[in-house]
Amino acid sequence: MPWQSRSTEEPPLSLFISYKREDEGRVGRLARALERAGISVWWDRSLLAAESWRTQIEQALDQSALAVVCWSRRSVGEGGDFVRDEAARAKAQGKLIPVFLDRVSPPLGFGELQAIDLSRWRGSERDPFFQDLTALVRARLEGRVPPSPKGPLSRLLRRLTWGSVFSVAIAAIAAFAFNLFHLQEVVCRAGIAQPRLSDACGAFHFGGAPTRGERIAWSSRIPGSCEALRRHIREFPEGVYRATATSALAARRVEQQEKWIPDTKQLSLFIPSDGAALPTLKAAQTDVLARGIKPAERLCKGFAAGGQYRFSRATAEADVAEGWHGCARTKSGYLCSLQGWATCSLQVRQVSESETCSASD
């Protein structure tokens, strides 16, 4: 279920919030905080009674620039169908921003998008996780690259400052956070605890490491497949491997393959009865079919002269519908003409293209 701003005459919607009705209290606090931060929010308290509430919600979702989906114990459970439907629609439209109200796993199909953890948020607009959300929303609305989240590192630093025993760790974390001496790359690519360490770095955008979802997708792609690289760019438009994939696509190799496929064509054929009379009707029919082979070959070879076809052989055949109406009995025997077909056995040329893209890991 969504939240809507108090005025129905506000400018085009910026942010749609999808949530489970039982989470209304927490989501209401989030909606009001976002509005105080200057972000236009859609919520459901001003739905028009005369119209279908579901239709209004769908229209609001389609008209919004972004959609925040609140994952909680209730929305990921059996009763969260509407929330999952709205999340799928928002994801398909490229405007989904997931947040956690509880520490839960997102539904199947939504795990690759990094969610902002608001499970411990108590309403403070100074909370770094809330500030991460507002910074992400503003960047998306303005078409900028979203900044790196500060909430996870802030939470970690708060934990480490509980005692002086962690002072050395704090210094290390600070050096890591500011990437002094390229420390992020060194730590994230260390040869221990991999790939979990790299996945953790990728989740917080540290050290140029990919997220777990991108790492798995990249390692499982079909080698040499250009379409696999295009699909990777579509699924991870801001991913670590985007530049590598783009470079490989720019250097793709295209090869043409030629094949000759058996084919048959029938061309109209007429053979006059200008041969010698034969004693039986069968002999006359056999004679005219034999005399028709050379004219049939000439017709078929002429048809194949364009280069798209190769000639193999030709036969003369009577038109079954016409029968042998061209046969007549004379004093000296039987004469037959042929109104039928030159049946051409050919090979047709087919050209297919294959593309290869080599991308290093």
Q: What does the pLDDT look like over 283-293, one tens digit per residue?
A: 998 999 999 99
Ramachandran quadrant class, 174 (left: phi over 0; alpha: psi -120 to 50; beta: rest): alpha
Are both 92 and 161 inside the same structural domain? Answer: no
- Asked if residue 250 and residue 183 are part of one domain, the reply reads yes
69 inside domain: yes
Residue 104: is it exposed, middle or buried by C-beta count within 10 angstroms (0-12/13-18/19+)? Answer: middle
Q: Are residues 123 and 210 in the same domain?
A: no
Q: State residue 13's pLDDT score.
A: 63
Read off the pLDDT of each residue in 78-97 and give the average, rounded to a whole number: 93
Handedness of CA 200, 206, 210, 213 (dihedral sign): positive
Q: Does residue 278 share a domain with residue 244? A: no
- State whether 264 and 213 are in the same domain: no
Domain boundary among the residues 254, 282, 307 is at 254
**274 lies in the same domain as 230:** no
Burial environment of residue 32 by CB neighbours within 10 A (0 to 12, 13 to 18, 19 or more): middle
Q: What is the pLDDT of residue 65?
A: 93
Confidence bin at 9 (pLDDT 50/70/90) = very low
- Assess whether 209 and 269 both reside in one domain: no
In CATH, what number is assigned to the domain containing residue 143? 3.40.50.10140
> Smallest Cα–Cα separation from 14: which of 147, 128, 137?
137
**136, 233: one domain:** no
361 found inside a domain: no
SS (H, E, C) the chain: CEECCCCCCCCCCCEEEECCHHHHHHHHHHHHHHHHCCCCEEEHHHCCCCCCHHHHHHHHHHHCCEEEEEECCCCCCCCCHHHHHHHHHHHHCCCEEEEECCCCCCCCCCCCCCCEECCCCCCCCCCHHHHHHHHHHHHHHHCCCCCCCCHHHHHHHHHHCCCHHHHHHHHHHHHHHCCHHHHHHHHHCCCCCCCHHHHHHHHCCCCCCCCHHHHHHHHCCCCCCHHHHHHHHHHCCCCCCHHHHHHHHHCCEEEEEEEEEEEEEEEEEEECCCCCCECCHHHHHHHHHHHCHHHHHHHHHHHHHHCCEEEEEEEEEECCCCCCCCEEEECCEEEECEEEEEEEEEEEEEEEEEEECCCCC
**Can you tell me the distance from the alpha carbon of 300 to that of 346, in angstroms, rounded to the nearest whole number?**
8
**Domain annotation covers residue 360:** no
The verdict on residue 266 lying in a domain is yes
Q: Residue 21 falls within a domain, yes or no?
A: yes
Sign of the torsion formed by the C-alpha atoms of 19, 22, 23 and 29? positive
- Tell me which of 206, 238, 254 is where a domain ends: 254
Of the chain, the end-to-end C-alpha distance in Å amounts to: 43
Angle at the Cα of 302 from the Cα atoms of 296 and 303, rounded to 5 degrees: 90
For range 310-319, the mean pLDDT: 91
Assess if residue 26 is contained within a domain: yes
CA-based radius of gyration for the chain = 37
Q: Express each pLDDT in 247-271 by its tens digit.
A: 888 888 988 888 999 999 999 999 8
Pick left, alpha or beta for residue 256 (phi over 0 → left; psi -120 to 50 → alpha; otherwise beta).
Answer: beta
Same domain, 158 and 141: no
> Within a domain: residue 340?
yes
Choosing from 196, 221, 254, the residue where a domain stops is: 254
State the chain's mean pLDDT as an integer. Answer: 84
Q: How many CB atoms lie within 10 A of CB 330?
A: 9
Same domain? 23 vs 140: yes
**Tokens 């438009």, residue?**
237
Q: Evaluate whether residue 97 is within a structural domain.
A: yes
Six-digit token string for 258: 């030629």
Q: Which of 42-51, 215-224, 336-345 is predicted with the least confidence, judged by mean pLDDT? A: 42-51
Residue range of the domain that includes 26 = 2-147
| Residue 93 and residue 37 share a domain | yes
Number of domains in the chain: 3
* pLDDT digit string, tens, across residues 160-203: 555 444 454 454 455 455 555 466 777 777 777 788 888 888 88
Cα torsion angle, 274, 278, 281, 287, sign: negative
Q: What does the pLDDT read at residue 113?
A: 85
Same domain as 120, residue 17: yes
pTM value? 0.43
